[in-house]
Amino acid sequence: GPLGDGSHGHYDLLNVEIAAGGRPLVVDPGRYSYSEASPNWRRWFRGTAAHNTVCVDGLDQTPYARGKPDEAVAQARFLGRHRATGLDVLHGEVRSPCYEVVHTRRVVFVAGEYWLLEDRLRGDRAHRYDLRFHLSADAWQRTEMAAGPANAIVRAPGLALVVARAGTPRLEAGWVAESYGVKYQAPVVSIAVDGRAEVTFTTLIVPLAPGRIPPSLAVHGGDGATVVEVRGTGPDGRASDWVGWRSTRGRLELGPLEVRGVAAWLRQSESGEIVVLGACDTDT
């Protein structure tokens, strides 16, 4: 929303928060303080890096100001929502006066079980892109990372982040303020790529019980479409999903089936049978 005359808003366009099972998993760190005395915690909590979005070149989306902004501010635009059985897709973009990069994000909720986030950054010159996820205070010193051939995995209480290998995640120390004037340490997941004009991050966020193996993630593209293959889904972790989207109606190759639409998904049982199919804005 708008920053307001008192500049109460944060530089957090395209930020997401995720909760499941009655607990926060990916969180907004909060307000903490209006004081700008050193070390100026107000600025830290307002900054883009303190939110679950992408930070470009270490900059805020809007230049920091104490009062009403007197210069250009970042602008967000809602690009659409598409829904079908077991599928909910949100799409938006942000443009900043601080750099020429356009950041578009899709948030895809699948089967009421997990989220896929696609972040596309498109610029004219090389930049440093830093995708950030702030976890709850409950995850402090209880978060682990593992790297596989195709995915990097971050495990925290009740949660797994599965990252397609655009960059390697690392952990930073952050803060969460659940009430004014009180802050707790919390982990921040940072996935950074440097020296590129364009990059796409694809992240799977799944609530996960202790001992459960996280799903695997494979990203396929081409012909203007993105198709994601997620293995290890469903109540027993034995199903496989194909989830696809594109900006305009067209072909989506979902593993064993081709669909024409803007977004679609299907689930296969362990034996390969298609047990669920949902599609948005399909050709009829």
Instruction: Quote the pLDDT of residue 104.
Output: 99
Domain coordinates in residue numbering, the chain = 18-61+73-210
Q: Name beta bridge partners: 151.
A: 164
Instruction: Quote the pLDDT of residue 61.
Output: 95
Task: Give the separation between CA 3 and CA 261, rounded to whole angstroms.
Answer: 37
**Residue pLDDT, tens place only, 24-64:** 999 999 887 877 777 877 888 899 999 999 999 999 999 88
Instruction: Quote the pLDDT of residue 10.
Output: 85
Report whether 239 contacts 268 (CB < 8 A): yes
CA-based end-to-end distance of the chain: 38
User: Nearest-5° angle of CA 244, CA 94, CA 194?
Assistant: 80
Report whether 217 contacts 204 (CB < 8 A): yes
User: Nearest-5° angle of CA 128, CA 131, CA 132?
Assistant: 130
Q: Which residues of the chain have pLDDT under 50?
A: 284
Instruction: Quote the pLDDT of residue 8.
Output: 57
CATH level 3 topology of 18-61+73-210: Beta-galactosidase; Chain A, domain 5 (2.70.98)
